């Protein structure tokens, strides 16, 4: 049976936490089958005595845990809570949830159900049918939340996810959380860490599912959110957006180097007296080796392929995808030249390379060779082939 630990950070939530604990343990957890539900409250020594209330409740509920620590901000509360959940409590699954009833406890079972049905990352989403933001929110706050989300969706190129700033989420430890260096997430003293954590989790996850969340207005106490938090959230999104383009820039650089290798060695081999065909063959293969090696240790270093067997298998695969690029060029090159004439062959070459070969290669590298993009359908297909 899976052990699911809800990590719930608190700072001055004395008016909410007692009722939250009771509602989870008495009303919600009993409705969840086939999972061992735990609650870990991470309190930053709240001066209002939140920790003491949790301490008292622990006598009543054996699956209730308290982690007391210094005040370091929301991100650190989650990171230390997750580390504790994974290390000390041996959690299989970790959930993020607020203590102020904005994430109504009744939605916990929906999140767990999505996990039990095969998702390894579940997002409580306010912006899908069935989800909502509080009616009580001023129009300005609604607008900031909606357009902020839209902006981040575009910057991160994540059109398929509708709520990227929600704080209600579930992640499987194996394969998703255990692949993330939690302590190195951006902006851990702030709320903005959420965007980075979501981004990394989505990268690792095989199946991401959004579950509707009716985001409730805050029950008691004051909010800790402010414009500074918002600015830092946008900052994190922009940095993440650019970081991903960095990979594309590296890919382009390697491709260009490959071109130079091809060009230089073509002349070297000719100079050595090899036939034209052999010169092309050897120089092209050298360029392929160059591209494979540099992409492996630089462009895709996070997904680096190691070990002799795997390297050989992947290198063969890489040659196959490179042959695909060659095929594209030799089909569309002549077609283009037929259309515009030999005089403009350099334009045709540039067009075919930029709009066809580059996207094709980038797609193949990310999907097939280094597998940094995950498509559930393709994964299934490859798994079947390997089996």
Q: State the residues that interact with ligand GTP by CB under 6 A.
A: 9-11, 13, 42-44, 71, 73-74, 77, 98-100, 102, 218, 223-225
Which of ligand GTP, Mg ion, none does 210 bind, CB closer than 5 to 8 A by kind? Answer: none
Which of Mg ion, ligand GTP, none does 321 bind, CB closer than 5 to 8 A by kind? Answer: none
Among 1, 200, 236, 161, which residue's Cα sits nearest to residue 82? 200
Residue 80: is it exposed, middle or buried by C-beta count within 10 angstroms (0-12/13-18/19+)? Answer: buried
Minimum distance, C-beta of residue 217 to ligand GTP, in the bound complex (Å): 8
Minimum distance, C-beta of residue 44 to ligand GTP, in the bound complex (Å): 4
Minimum distance, C-beta of residue 224 to Mg ion, in the bound complex (Å): 8
Q: d(Cα 16, Cα 251) in Å, to the nearest integer?
A: 51
If the CB atoms of residues 98 and 210 are measured against Mg ion, the closer one turns out to be 98
The radius of gyration of the chain's CA atoms, rounded to the nearest angstrom, is 26
Residue nearest ligand GTP (C-beta atom): 223
Q: Which residues pair with 125 in a beta bridge?
A: 212
Instruction: Kindly list the residues in this chain that would bind Mg ion in the complex (CB under 5 A).
Output: 98, 100, 102
Minimum distance, C-beta of residue 77 to ligand GTP, in the bound complex (Å): 3
Which of Mg ion, ligand GTP, none does 211 bind, CB closer than 5 to 8 A by kind? Answer: none
Minimum distance, C-beta of residue 258 to ligand GTP, in the bound complex (Å): 48
If the CB atoms of residues 98 and 120 are measured against Mg ion, the closer one turns out to be 98
If the CB atoms of residues 120 and 221 are measured against ligand GTP, the closer one turns out to be 221
Minimum distance, C-beta of residue 117 to ligand GTP, in the bound complex (Å): 28
Q: How far is CA 49 from CA 14, 16, 59, 77, 90, in A?
A: 6, 12, 17, 17, 28
Q: d(Cα 289, Cα 292) in Å, to the nearest integer?
A: 5
If the CB atoms of residues 46 and 283 are measured against ligand GTP, the closer one turns out to be 46
If the CB atoms of residues 168 and 292 are measured against Mg ion, the closer one turns out to be 168
If the CB atoms of residues 97 and 170 are measured against Mg ion, the closer one turns out to be 97
| Tokens read off for 283 | 């120089």
Q: How far is CA 144 from CA 21, 187, 215, 222, 292, in A?
A: 31, 20, 15, 19, 44
Among 202, 203, 201, 190, which residue's Cα sits nearest to residue 235? 190
């Amino acid at each position: 049976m899976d052990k699911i630990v809800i990590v719930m950070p608190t700072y001055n939530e004395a008016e909410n936490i007692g009722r939250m604990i009771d509602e989870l343990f008495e009303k919600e957890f009993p409705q969840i089958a086939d999972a061992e539900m735990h609650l870990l409250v991470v309190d930053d020594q709240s001066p209002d005595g939140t920790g003491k209330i949790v301490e008292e409740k622990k006598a009543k509920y054996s699956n209730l845990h308290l982690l007391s620590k210094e005040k370091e901000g929301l991100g650190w509360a989650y990171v230390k809570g997750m580390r504790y959940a994974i290390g000390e409590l041996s959690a299989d699954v970790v959930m993020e949830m607020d203590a102020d009833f904005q994430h109504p406890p009744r939605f916990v079972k929906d999140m767990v159900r999505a996990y039990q049905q095969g998702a390894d990352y579940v997002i409580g989403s306010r912006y899908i049918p069935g989800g909502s933001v509080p009616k009580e929110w001023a129009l300005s706050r609604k607008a900031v939340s909606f357009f902020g989300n839209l902006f981040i969706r575009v910057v991160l190129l994540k059109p398929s996810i509708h709520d990227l700033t929600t704080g209600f989420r579930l992640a499987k430890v194996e394969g998703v959380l255990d692949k993330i260096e939690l302590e190195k997430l951006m902006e851990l003293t702030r709320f903005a860490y959420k965007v980075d954590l979501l981004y990394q989790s989505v990268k690792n996850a095989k199946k991401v599912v959004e579950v509707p969340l009716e985001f409730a207005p805050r029950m008691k106490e004051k909010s800790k959110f402010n414009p500074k938090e918002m600015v830092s959230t946008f900052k994190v999104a922009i940095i993440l957006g650019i970081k991903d383009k960095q990979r594309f820039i590296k890919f382009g650089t390697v491709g260009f180097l490959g071109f130079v290798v091809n060009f230089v060695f073509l002349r070297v081999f000719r100079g050595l007296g090899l036939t034209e065909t052999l010169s092309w063959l050897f120089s092209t293969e050298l360029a392929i080796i160059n591209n494979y090696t540099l992409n492996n240790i630089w462009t895709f270093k996070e997904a680096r392929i190691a070990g002799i067997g795997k390297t050989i298998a992947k290198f063969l695969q890489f040659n196959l995808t490179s042959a695909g690029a060659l095929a594209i060029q030799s089909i569309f090159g002549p077609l283009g030249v037929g259309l515009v004439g030999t005089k403009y062959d350099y334009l045709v070459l540039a067009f075919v390379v930029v709009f066809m070969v580059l996207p094709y290669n980038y797609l193949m590298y990310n999907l097939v060779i280094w597998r940094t993009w995950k498509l559930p359908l393709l994964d299934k297909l490859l798994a079947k082939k390997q089996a």
